[in-house]
Structure 1
C-alpha cells in the first residue's frame, strides 16, 4: 500500500509531468516540476487473440478505504477507481500528457483553459460537460466536501473556475503563478451524474465516465466491474472497447503467500508480489512487468507534543538509522538504496539529494541528544524532563522484509538511547494511523510521487483535520524554496525543488531508505500496460 502509488506502505501520488505533442497545450510546458519526462509504462504482451467476452480477476493485497475519488489517497482505492473515472489529462508515451476528457488545453503561469471533448457520458447516461468539470474543481477546495486532493490534484486553493458549456471550455484562474497546475490536475478524477448530487453514494458506488462501471461489491473483499460498451473517449493508446474484458473482478487477498498460490492455481490472472512469493512465481515462468513506483521512507512526527518534535531527536534518528542494511532486507532485497526522494523515472530527477542527510553516524547522534538534554536512564534509554525517549512506530506487516527491518531499527536506535515500540498493522490501517496523529516514527512508510511539488501538502500547511500535513511539518527553509519553485516552469524549477528537498533531508524530516519497484505477475493469456495505479484499464486484454 502506498499514498498515491501502487505498493506497500503509504500514500499514492502519481501525476506525470510533461506537455502534449498532440491535441495539447498551445503554451504547454512540463509544468513547475519540469525536467525529463517519465519513462513509458512497462507492459505484458498478450499471447493469443483478445476476447471481448473474457472475465479477468486481479489480486490486490490492500483493502480500499473510501470509494469517493476526491477523498482517498490510498493506492488500493485509486486502483479500483481508475476503471470507473476519467481525468482531464492522461499519461501518454514517454510520460508526456495526452488528452483525456479534455481534447486540448492552453496554459499560462496563472491560467489554464481546457476544451472538453464531445460525446463523453457518465455511467448513468448523463453528459459530461464543462459545468461538470467546474463542479469537480470547485468541490476540491470546498471545506464542506473535505477533499484530499487540495494541494495535490489542485496545487492551491487560490483559484476560480468558469465554464462555458456552449464552447465546451473550463478555465481555472490562479491568484499567483503556478507551474504545476496542469500536470497536477491529472490527479483529479471527474465525478459526474448522480454522484455530484448525492456524494454519500460515492462511499459504496461509483459515478464516473470511465470504461467500466462498478456493478457489485463486498467492501474490502471484492469489486466487480463491467465494461461500458458505449465507451469511446479513452486517451491515446486505448484499445477498442470491444477488445477489453467484459468483466474485471478485483479480489482482495491480504496474505501474500495465499496470493501467490491463487495466481499459480489460475484463480487470479494477475497480482503484485514481492519477496520469496515473487521468486516462487517467477520460477514457474509467469510473465512479469515492473515500475519504480515509490520510495520507502522513515518519517518522524514533528508535532511539538511528541518526542520527535525536538529537532535534535529528528536529526539523531536520521544519523542512527541503518539505511544500507534496511535496503538489503526490505522487500527481501529487491529494492535499491534510495539516493533521492522521488523515483528515478520522473520529472526533476533528484539523484544524489540524499547526500544532504546529516552525517556522522551514531556518534554524532549521541552528541546531539546529549547537547539537547536527553540523558541516558538506568536501562540506557534517554530521558528529558521526566519524559522517556520512547517512540511509537506503526509499521506494515503485509510485505516482505519489514519485520526484519524493524529488528534492525530497534537495535540501531537502542544503541543511541532511543526506544522504538513497533506497532505492526496492515497497510490500510497504517495510512489511517499516519493521518490520525498518534505516532512518533513511521520507519517503513511509502509515498509514491513523480512531482516534487507533491511533497508540499505532506510537509507544510494545515494538519489532517484541515489539510494533508500528517507529518506536522513546519520547515521554513523547505517552505521558502518550495514557494519559489512552484512558480517556475520546466527545467528552470528543478534546482529550486532540489534546494527544498535538501532542506527536509538536512533536518531529518524525511529519510529515504529504499527505491521500491512494484512487480506484477500474470498468467498466460493476459496482457496490459502499467501505470502508477496498476494495469491501465483501456490496455487490458485477455485471450478467448
Structure 2
C-alpha cells in the first residue's frame, strides 16, 4: 500500500466540502465510562438541504453524509496515511488506480455493494453532464472506472497523472445501486453502506438516523459493535450559536460547534472539546463580466483598503492567526507559506489611487461613482462565525467606506450562501473558506468553467495559474509542492483570492466524546455516563 497525504475539502462556509485534518481532543470525557444504546444529538447551524451526497458542496450536507455513506478509503488524521474503508487494499501507479473492496459490504436496504456499482458511482461523478461539485475535487477530470465483481477490484484509468488521487477518494461518498437508479429519491432518503440509516427527515428541524447492525467496514476497520456507540443519532438544526451553547449546557444537544464568545462559558463548564485547525478568513471576488469586481484594479484596491491583520483578530475573537497556505488542513500535503509575502499591504491611500485610475471618482457625499453609477458592493458572509464574524464584516464595510466604497454586508446561512455563489451569482465579495489539505483540490474553484456550469464560483480566469498548476500536477506528490505554492502566491499577489485568517474550530460535547478530523467521524462517537 502506498503512503500518501490525505486531502479533503470543506467549503467551510465555510463551504466545506469536506475536511480531513488533524484534530486534538481534550476536556471532559477522558476516562469516563461509555454507555450503550444512547441517543446522540448533533446541532448544525444550517439545514443540509437536498441529501444527495454527490450533488452538494456544503458543510452541513457533508456532515450528515458521513452517517449514511462511506468512501473507498480513509485517512489517519495524524500521520496522513491512507487507511481502509470500503477498500482493503489499493495501489496507484501512473494513470492506473486499483482498489480491492472488502468482503460482505451491504447497503442499508440489505443488498450487496459490488465493484460494478462503485465504478458506476465514479463514472457518474466523472461525467460533466451530471454537474457533481466533486468532479475535479475528489475525483480527477477524465477518469474512467470499471469494476470486476468476481475479484471485487475497481480500476480507475486517469486522463493524466494525479498526485493526490487516493486523497480525494477518501472524501468521495459511494451511493448504493438503488440510489443510483433513483437519484431523485436521494434528496430526502439515504442509500448507502454507512454505519447509520436515515429513518426520519424533517427539513429545517431535524434528521434521525438509526445504527446498522453488522457494519464492519468503517474507517480502518471500525464497526458498529463497538461499545459506547449511540443507537440513534438526531441531527438538529440550531442556527443561533447562543441557543446551541445553552442546549449543550442543559443536555439538549450532545455536540455542536461554537466559535464565538459563548465558547468561553462552555470551556468553563468542563465540556469535552474536539479541535480542528481551519482556514476561517478567505475573501473572494466575483470576477464575472458586468460585476464591479471584474476589474483587477478594483479587486486590488478593495484588498489594500482592508487592514487584514485587524480583521483576522476581530473575526477569530483574538484566538486565530494569519493564514499561511490555501490548503491548510493538517496534515497538509504542501506545508509552507504562500500567503504572508504575497498579500497586498494595507494602504488606504494606494487603494484610493487605484480606484481613481479605474475611473471611480469620489462625489460630494464621499461615495465613488463612474459614469453616474455609484460604486456599490454586495458583500456576503456566513452566519456561523458568531459575533466575531458580524463585527469583522462591519469593520470591513467601514474600511471600504473610508475609501469611498458603499458596501452592503449580508449574513446568510450556508444553504442560502451556497445557492447564491453557485447559482444566481448576485454578489461582489464573499467570505467563503475552502478547507482542504491538498492544493490540487482547489483547482476547480480557482479555474475552469464558472458557476453554474462548474465549481469556479468566482469566475476566475488566470492563464498563469492554469499553466503553473498543470506543471505542478505532472510531478508526483510532494515533489510538486513548490510549484503548487508558487501558483497560489501569484493569485494572492493579484488579489484574486485573499486568505487572511486561520483558527481552531472547536466542537463541544456533552456526555459524549468523538473525533473531528475535519468532519465528525460517526464511528468515533462514544456516549458517556452522565
TM-score, length-scaled by structure 1: 0.91
Check the 8 A contact 1:270/1:521 in 2, yes or no: yes
The one of 446, 461, 464 aligned to 1:459: 446
The 5 Å alignment of 1:355-434 reads 355-359=341-345, 361-400=347-386, 401-434=388-421
Check the 8 A contact 1:40/1:95 in 2, yes or no: no
- Cα distance in 2 between the residues matched to 1:95 and 1:293: 16
The one of 448, 458, 470 aligned to 1:483: 470
The alpha-carbon distance between structure 1 residues 196 and 111, as it changes in their structure 2 partners (threshold 3 A), is same
Q: Deviation per CA, 1:478-518, whole angstroms, max 9, x where unpaired?
A: 11111111222122111010111012101101111211321
Q: Deviation per CA, 1:300-343, whole angstroms, max 9, x where unpaired?
A: 10012100000100111121122111112114223222233232
Q: What residue in structure 2 maps to residue 20 of structure 1?
A: none
| Partner secondary structure for residue 215 of structure 1 | strand
1:511 and 2:498 equivalent? yes
Q: What residue in structure 2 maps to residue 296 of structure 1?
A: 281
- Cα distance in 2 between the residues matched to 1:303 and 1:445: 17
Check the 8 A contact 2:281/2:312 in 1, yes or no: no
1:492 and 2:479 equivalent? yes
Check the 8 A contact 1:155/1:181 in 2, yes or no: yes
Q: What residue in structure 2 maps to residue 26 of structure 1?
A: none
- Cα distance in 1 between the residues matched to 2:199 and 2:424: 35
- Cα distance in 2 between the residues matched to 1:148 and 1:178: 18
1:276 and 2:261 equivalent? yes
Shift of residue 55, structure 1, vs aligned partner: 1.5
Shift of residue 15, structure 1, vs aligned partner: 5.8
1:339 and 2:324 equivalent? yes
The one of 428, 436, 440 aligned to 1:449: 436
Shift of residue 412, structure 1, vs aligned partner: 1.1
Q: What residue in structure 1 maps to residue 14 of structure 2?
A: 10
Q: Deviation per CA, 1:54-110, whole angstroms, max 9, x where unpaired?
A: 121111112112210110111111111101101101112422110111111111231
- Cα distance in 2 between the residues matched to 1:372 and 1:499: 28
**Structure 2, unpaired ranges of 5+:** 1-7
Q: What residue in structure 2 maps to residue 50 of structure 1?
A: 34
1:124 and 2:105 equivalent? no
Shift of residue 205, structure 1, vs aligned partner: 0.5
Q: What residue in structure 2 maps to residue 30 of structure 1?
A: none
Shift of residue 426, structure 1, vs aligned partner: 2.1
The alpha-carbon distance between structure 1 residues 144 and 476, as it changes in their structure 2 partners (threshold 3 A), is closer
**Structure 1, unpaired ranges of 5+:** 17-37
Shift of residue 344, structure 1, vs aligned partner: 5.5
Q: What residue in structure 2 maps to residue 171 of structure 1?
A: 155
Check the 8 A contact 1:4/1:75 in 2, yes or no: no
| Partner secondary structure for residue 98 of structure 1 | strand
| Partner secondary structure for residue 279 of structure 2 | strand
Which segment drifts farther, 291-300 or 249-258? 291-300
- Cα distance in 1 between the residues matched to 2:93 and 2:364: 63
Check the 8 A contact 2:291/2:428 in 1, yes or no: no
- Cα distance in 1 between the residues matched to 2:68 and 2:252: 24
The 5 Å alignment of 1:74-473 reads 74-92=58-76, 93-156=78-141, 158-236=142-220, 238=222, 241-243=225-227, 244-343=229-328, 345=330, 346-359=332-345, 361-400=347-386, 401-473=388-460
The alpha-carbon distance between structure 1 residues 285 and 42, as it changes in their structure 2 partners (threshold 3 A), is closer
Q: What residue in structure 1 maps to residue 4 of structure 2?
A: none
Shift of residue 49, structure 1, vs aligned partner: 3.2
Shift of residue 43, structure 1, vs aligned partner: 6.2
| Partner secondary structure for residue 495 of structure 1 | helix
Check the 8 A contact 1:43/1:528 in 2, yes or no: no
Shift of residue 379, structure 1, vs aligned partner: 1.9
Which segment drifts farther, 290-299 or 345-354? 345-354
| Partner secondary structure for residue 424 of structure 1 | strand
| Partner secondary structure for residue 421 of structure 1 | strand
The alpha-carbon distance between structure 1 residues 4 and 490, as it changes in their structure 2 partners (threshold 3 A), is closer
- Cα distance in 2 between the residues matched to 1:6 and 1:53: 33
- Cα distance in 2 between the residues matched to 1:149 and 1:90: 17
| Partner secondary structure for residue 171 of structure 2 | coil
Check the 8 A contact 1:354/1:512 in 2, yes or no: no
- Cα distance in 2 between the residues matched to 1:116 and 1:437: 41
- Cα distance in 2 between the residues matched to 1:270 and 1:489: 39
